[in-house]
Amino acid sequence: MRSSKYTQEFKDSTIQLVMNSDKSTYQIAQDLDINDKTLYSCQVQSKNVPICKAKMHHLIA
């Protein structure tokens, strides 16, 4: 099993940023210099942010 490149603390704080920001998930990923698919994956794993909402923001932005 591969260990994660990002700590759980980083993932949790990033998800909080997504939930509390007006920016799209895609834009937040760009700002943090991480792949947007990585951030979407964190969202799915955390189950705190609906992925469909995040993708919709990406399409609107």
Share of the chain above pLDDT 70, in %: 69
In the predicted model, residues of the chain with pLDDT beneath 70 are: 1-3, 47-61
Closest CA to 36 of 1, 23, 7: 23
- The torsion angle over the Cα atoms of residues 48, 45, 41 and 15, rounded to 10 degrees, is 40
Whole-number Å distance between alpha carbons of 53 and 50 = 5
